[in-house]
């Protein structure tokens, strides 16, 4: 039995988003548990589809003792503030210092965290943890499939283990894999595998074309699974998150094992697989007008809802979740029965709650972030439903997680319905509609504040998905992103 320190902080940073991540957003509950420490942390993450949870369950099953540090996350946004990062980092290190010496550390990180004062937030945290436990102790970290794996992360961590699915349905599984690595290293009395290889592609993968339910990403990750065999103990591929605008953003793969030749051969083989598919990471984008017209045409032969993915205002990529262009376009094209959601606007939700069911109320909806091209939609809305926004998610990704959207309302304007919530949370579970009585499977057209993650729960009911380029900071056409970093500027022009 070994003593393992377990903790995590998850933030995906889109430097083009309108809001920074301040300390309070890490403290609150959204679609994930609130910031917590010690045994409270273990209680909060139990039963949730998170790496920390999968790691906890596997480590306990292997008979290890857990030293809980701290776990927290914040919805993707612009930079993490210096105060937030330093407070959270200090709490983790303080617990580590105050505990009896640990035999290993397992961290649940995102890998694309940029702080106001440190460009590589995850690398910096790993450096501090490594400094605290020393070079002889294994430190294993889980990363999101959109991590920007830096050389610093590779140098500080014994193993980096990345999700293999987008939508990220394997988060807890990734934690379990990371726990297995830690267990194996401890059994061999090693701080690291003898061999490690890292490779980077010379092109970017726009997240909107990286869904692993379909090719080319599906085949690339299938190949990764094939390559992990006896002589390669682990291999991970991250597709990167270009909107972090850091020089090491983009796809990277790492391989680990006991045999250097096999590790390098596996890394080269997977790199060749991705490079051979470079031209396939693309597809058709629709502006709001084109998307709504096409959705109306396709929905005439109803075979499940047509989904308009409002990718650029996806809160899961740093969008404020409050732009209204698609909603307004649905109304202007009289898309009767269409439903949009979830638009984040606490003031609008409050107005609806104050007015009550069936009231007609004048609301200035959304458009509050000041993002260029995003204006509020001022109209008379009928209140069709109200909720406190607290419910349990049922889809495979959130898998029973307790959701808190703050007060929510179902409104109707000119025959189009819209769900309004009070926090910017990605719409990735059918419960975000059904908690207000809207059954997604019975809709013809759904406009949704998500890019890919909604597919974890909507894939089984949808007819087709149209990715829409409505206003928002989660820019899908990378050639149009005003990158500061010279390497990203060069690579984006290739897309
Ligand atoms: Zn991700």
What pLDDT, in 10s, does the model give residues 171-205?
A: 999 999 999 999 999 999 999 999 999 999 999 99
Mean pLDDT, rounded, for 456-473: 95
What's the CA-to-centroid distance between 188 and ligand 1, angstroms?
32
Q: Give the model's pLDDT for residue 337.
A: 87
What's the CA-to-centroid distance between 164 and ligand 1, angstroms?
10
What's the CA-to-centroid distance between 415 and ligand 1, angstroms?
35
What's the CA-to-centroid distance between 146 and ligand 1, angstroms?
5
Is-cis flag, bond preceding 167, omega within 30? yes
What's the CA-to-centroid distance between 143 and ligand 1, angstroms?
9
Query: Cα Rg for the chain, rounded, in angstroms?
Result: 22
What's the CA-to-centroid distance between 173 and ligand 1, angstroms?
15
Neighbours of 194 (CB within 10 A): 13
pLDDT surpassing 90 at residue 88: yes
- ∠ Cα 168 169 173 (to 5°): 105
What's the CA-to-centroid distance between 69 and ligand 1, angstroms?
23
For the stretch 140-171, pLDDT in tens is 999 999 999 999 999 999 999 999 999 999 99
Structure-token pair, residue 176: 């379990």
For the stretch 305-346, pLDDT in tens is 999 999 999 999 999 999 999 999 999 999 998 999 999 999
369 or 239, higher pLDDT: 239
DSSP state at residue 111: S
What's the CA-to-centroid distance between 163 and ligand 1, angstroms?
8
Q: Give the model's pLDDT for residue 493.
A: 84
Instruction: Assign 31 a pLDDT band (cuts: 50, 70, 90).
Output: confident
What's the CA-to-centroid distance between 425 and ligand 1, angstroms?
14
What's the CA-to-centroid distance between 4 and ligand 1, angstroms?
26
The chain-wide mean pLDDT, for the chain, equals 96
Q: Give the model's pLDDT for residue 495.
A: 60
Residues 6+ apart with CB under 8 A from 5: 67, 69, 95, 96, 99, 102, 104, 105, 106, 133
pLDDT surpassing 70 at residue 370: yes
Q: Give the model's pLDDT for residue 372.
A: 80
Neighbours of 495 (CB within 10 A): 18
Q: Give the model's pLDDT for residue 184.
A: 97
Neighbours of 485 (CB within 10 A): 18
Three-state DSSP class for residue 20: coil
Alpha helices in 139-259 (DSSP H): 151-156, 171-187, 217-227
- Beta pairing partners, 307: 446, 465
Q: What is the C-alpha separation between 392 and 197, in angstroms, rounded?
A: 41
Q: Where are the beta strands (DSSP E) in 278-321?
A: 306-309
Mean pLDDT, rounded, for 78-100: 97
Three-state DSSP class for residue 404: strand
Is-cis flag, bond preceding 149, omega within 30? no
| 361 and 380 Cβ atoms separated by less than 8 Å | yes
What's the CA-to-centroid distance between 359 and ligand 1, angstroms?
40
Residue 254: CA count within 13 A, CB half-sphere: 26
What's the CA-to-centroid distance between 361 and ligand 1, angstroms?
38
Neighbours of ion ligand 1 (CB under 5 A): 144, 146
Mean pLDDT, rounded, for 211-235: 93
Q: What is the C-alpha separation between 229 and 246, in angstroms, rounded?
A: 33
What's the CA-to-centroid distance between 419 and ligand 1, angstroms?
24
Three-state DSSP class for residue 9: strand
DSSP state at residue 37: E
What's the CA-to-centroid distance between 452 and ligand 1, angstroms?
10
Q: What is the C-alpha separation between 78 and 241, in angstroms, rounded?
A: 13
Q: How many residues does the chain have?
A: 495
Is-cis flag, bond preceding 52, omega within 30? no
pTM for this model (two decimals): 0.94
What's the CA-to-centroid distance between 166 and ligand 1, angstroms?
7
Q: What is the C-alpha separation between 470 and 35, in angstroms, rounded?
A: 33
Nearest residue to 54 (alpha-carbon basis) of 66, 44, 46: 46
Alpha helices in 243-341 (DSSP H): 260-275, 288-299, 325-332
What's the CA-to-centroid distance between 208 and ligand 1, angstroms?
11
Q: Per-domain residue ranges for the chain? A: 3-280, 288-476
What's the CA-to-centroid distance between 213 and ligand 1, angstroms?
14
Q: Give the model's pLDDT for residue 152.
A: 98
Mean pLDDT, rounded, for 22-40: 92
Q: What are phi and psi of 72, to 5 degrees?
A: -160, 165
What's the CA-to-centroid distance between 168 and ligand 1, angstroms?
7
pLDDT surpassing 80 at residue 366: yes
Q: Give the model's pLDDT for residue 30.
A: 82
Mean pLDDT, rounded, for 343-360: 98
């Amino acid at each position: 039995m070994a003593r393992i320190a377990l903790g995590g902080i998850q933030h995906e940073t889109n430097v083009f988003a309108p809001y920074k991540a301040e300390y309070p957003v890490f403290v609150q509950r959204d679609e994930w548990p609130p910031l917590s420490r010690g045994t409270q942390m273990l209680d909060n993450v139990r039963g949730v589809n998170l790496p920390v949870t999968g790691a906890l369950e596997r480590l306990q099953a292997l008979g290890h003792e857990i030293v809980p540090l701290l776990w927290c996350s914040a919805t993707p946004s612009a930079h993490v503030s210096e105060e937030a990062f330093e407070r959270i980092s200090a709490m983790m290190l303080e617990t580590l210092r105050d505990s009896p010496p640990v035999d290993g550390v397992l961290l649940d990180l995102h890998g694309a965290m940029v702080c106001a004062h440190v460009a590589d937030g995850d690398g910096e945290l790993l450096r501090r943890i490594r400094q605290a436990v020393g070079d002889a102790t294994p430190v294993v970290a889980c990363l999101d499939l959109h991590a920007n794996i830096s050389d610093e992360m590779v140098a500080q961590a014994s193993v980096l283990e990345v999700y293999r699915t987008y939508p990220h349905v394997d988060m807890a599984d990734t934690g379990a894999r990371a726990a297995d690595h830690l267990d194996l290293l401890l059994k061999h009395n090693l701080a690291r595998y003898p061999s490690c290889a890292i490779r980077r592609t010379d092109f970017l993968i726009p997240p909107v074309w990286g869904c692993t339910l379909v090719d080319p990403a599906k085949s690339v990750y299938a190949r990764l699974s094939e390559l992990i065999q006896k002589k390669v103990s682990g291999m991970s591929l991250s597709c990167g998150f270009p909107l972090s605008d850091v020089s090491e953003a983009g796809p990277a793969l790492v391989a680990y094992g006991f045999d250097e030749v096999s590790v390098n051969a596996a890394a080269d083989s997977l790199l060749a697989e991705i490079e051979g598919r470079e031209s396939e990471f693309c597809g058709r984008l629709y502006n709001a007008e084109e998307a709504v017209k096409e959705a109306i045409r396709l929905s005439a032969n109803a075979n499940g809802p047509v989904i308009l993915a409002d990718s650029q205002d996806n809160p899961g990529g740093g969008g404020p979740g409050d732009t209204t262009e698609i909603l307004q376009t649905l109304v202007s094209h009289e898309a009767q029965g269409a439903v949009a959601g979830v638009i984040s606007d606490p003031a609008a939700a409050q107005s609806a709650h104050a007015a009550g069911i069936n009231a007609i109320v004048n609301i200035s909806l959304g458009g509050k972030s000041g993002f260029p091209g995003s204006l509020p939609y001022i109209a008379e809305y009928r209140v069709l439903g109200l909720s406190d926004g607290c419910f349990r998610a049922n889809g495979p990704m959130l898998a029973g997680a307790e959701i808190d959207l703050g007060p929510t309302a179902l409104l109707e304007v000119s025959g189009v319905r819209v769900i309004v919530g009070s926090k910017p949370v990605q719409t990735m579970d059918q419960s975000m509609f059904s908690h207000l009585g809207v059954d997604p499977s019975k809709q013809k057209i759904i406009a949704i504040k998500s890019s890919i993650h909604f597919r974890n729960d909507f894939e089984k009911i949808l007819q087709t998905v149209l990715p829409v380029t409505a206003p928002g900071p989660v820019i899908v056409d990378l050639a149009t992103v005003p990158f500061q970093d010279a390497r990203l500027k060069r690579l984006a022009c290739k897309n």
